[in-house]
Amino acid sequence: MVKILFVCLGNICRSPLAQGIFNHLAAKKGLGEQLVARSAGTADYHIGEPADHRTIKIARRHGIEIKHEGCQLSEDDFQEYDYIVAMDQSNYLNITRHPGYPNSRATVVMMRNFDTAASDLNVPDPYFGSMDGFERVYQMLLKANEGFIAFLSEKHQL
Ligand code: 4NP
């Protein structure tokens, strides 16, 4: 089993959506048992909270149900997961400055690295924007997750 942790700042917008899309695509490809994804935030703002209502709405529009309880990135996560996937450059910095990082078993990567057509590596934070921003984030995460699953299938011979 390959374990993936998607990480953003608040763990209510981008990373729960990334997790929902990833698990949906993995299940569709019959890889639901081999690929398991969760999500976390680098901040503690929304621990125990459900995903942002706009994240839930956008996901539902695309046929994905998000059940979520916010949690914060912990030192144990660096041992537990095979991949820790940052949504933007700021998340990446927060992850690599975390006390768990120096002994990390997990490989830390940027989400949009798996979208070869992406010109900007950041999945922008949609929190202070409109529903259009959430739809754009959904499309970015869909593309990147398709590339990520293709990468994982090859790398881990799934
Ligand atoms: P996320 O978005 O990192 O994609 O979950 C945010 C959600 C909440 C906050 C910031 C970003 N906040 O400041 O509360």
Residue of the CA atom closest to atom 13 of ligand 1: 10
What are the structural domain ranges in the chain? 2-155
Secondary structure of the chain: what % helix, strand, coil (to 5)? Answer: 45, 15, 40
Q: For residues 35, 82, 127 and 23, what is the CA-based torsion angle, rounded to 10 degrees?
A: 0
Per the prediction, the chain carries an average pLDDT of 98
- At 74, which amino acid appears? S
pLDDT score at 58 = 98
Q: Which two tokens stand for residue 42?
A: 């680098």
pTM of structure? 0.98
Q: Please confirm, yes or no, whether 14 is among the known catalytic residues.
A: yes
* Catalytic residue chosen out of the listed positions 52, 77, 115, 125: 125
Q: Please confirm, yes or no, whether 61 is among the known catalytic residues.
A: no
Half-sphere exposure of 145 (CA within 13 A, CB side): 29
Q: What percent of the chain has pLDDT over 90?
A: 100
Task: Indicate the fold that domain 2-155 takes in CATH.
Answer: Rossmann fold (3.40.50)
pLDDT single digits (tens) 20-78: 999 999 999 999 999 999 999 999 999 999 999 999 999 999 999 999 999 999 999 99
Distance from the alpha carbon of residue 155 to the mean position of ligand 1, in angstroms: 32
Q: Please confirm, yes or no, whether 136 is among the known catalytic residues.
A: no
Beta bridge mates, 72: 41
